[in-house]
Amino acid sequence: MQTYYIISSGTLNREMDSLRFSNSNENKIIPLENIESIIISGNVSITKPAISILSKKNIPVFFMSMYDNYISSLIPEDYLLSGKVIMNQAIKAYNIDERIKIARIFVYAAARNMAIVLKRGNMGKIKIPYKEIMESKSINELMSYEGNFRNNFLNIVDQYLPNNYKIIKRSRRPPRNKMNALISYLNMLLYSITESQIFLTHLNPAISFLHEPFERRNSLSLDVSEIFKPLICDRLAIKMVKLKIIKDSDFLEENGVFLNENGRKKVVKMFDDKMQETVYSSSLKRYVSYKYLIRLELYKIEKYILEEKRYKPYISKR
């Protein structure tokens, strides 16, 4: 099953049991048999018949702005909600001791995966304050540790980037330079993929642990994405710059710096290839795609919520 990306602007309508996407340059049929979710970042009008067939086939749609902001999602009514899972998930999120126990794991796994990216790229090391993370008493304290070693990580990466692609300082809404624009767009793609995988579990996407629950509809996807951002988004951003896949002509400046349509197409192609890349899963004892690896992470969280089974996060070995 695949994720389908719509980057250009146009109209999405129903065509029998498929969709038709059309604009002044394109008029194509989108078969839905093998589509798991759709991510739209173009300025797209979607008709009521299109919504009807997507709902019938249980295909969620995630809307991003043409730049890097999550807008909303269209979730079919047959979403796999489970009262028991939601109640247990809410209880753990409401109990500060339980919430912080899970939040610590997200932060620690993110730090370990950042260290792996630096090590495998021969870029250096970051100090992981393991004791401080595991003894944190508040979410603000945890977020502070996460922010500090994230900044340290980016400062090291900056030493290996060309001058016109240095991060300098992480900036969002809007990104202030090319690397920030590239990372922000990749992060938003990862959030959307993670939420599409949440849709395939019984977890509620609005009940999170590290990020504030209910602050955004997809706050759980923000939590889980922390684990995978270094391995997927940061690695891809560094690779695209070092191999000169992304170029100055792929950006535009308009009250900030953003990828243009050609740039977004390049990023989506690289990101989708990465999602299909396989890595070894020790729990399944076989190779799985990165996309499925994210779903496995969610299954582990669901199992912990229901059965108190120890939650061991994914930490890359390569």
**196-212: pLDDT as tens digits:** 899 888 898 889 999 88
Task: Report whether pLDDT(173) > 80.
Answer: no
| pLDDT tens digits for range 137-154 | 899 999 998 888 899 999
pLDDT band at residue 278 under the 50/70/90 scheme: very high
pLDDT band at residue 217 under the 50/70/90 scheme: low
Task: Report whether pLDDT(174) > 80.
Answer: no
Q: Quote the pLDDT of residue 250.
A: 94
pLDDT, the chain, mean: 89
What are all long-range contacts of 153-160, with beta carbons under 8 Å and residues at least 24 apart?
A: 153/114, 153/117, 153/118, 153/126, 153/230, 153/234, 156/118, 156/123, 156/124, 156/126, 157/118, 157/123, 157/234, 157/238, 159/123, 159/124, 160/121, 160/123, 160/238, 160/242
146 known member of a binding site: yes
User: For domain 2-59, is the CATH number 3.40.50.800?
Assistant: no
CATH 1.20.120.920 boundaries in the chain: 83-307
pTM for this predicted structure: 0.89
Lowest mean pLDDT among 91-95, 212-216, 246-250: 212-216
211 known member of a binding site: yes
CATH 3.100.10.20 boundaries in the chain: 2-59
User: For domain 83-307, is the CATH number 1.20.120.340?
Assistant: no
DSSP tally for the chain: helices H, then strands E:
10, 12
Task: Report whether pLDDT(215) > 60.
Answer: no
Lowest mean pLDDT among 62-76, 145-159, 264-278, 303-317: 62-76
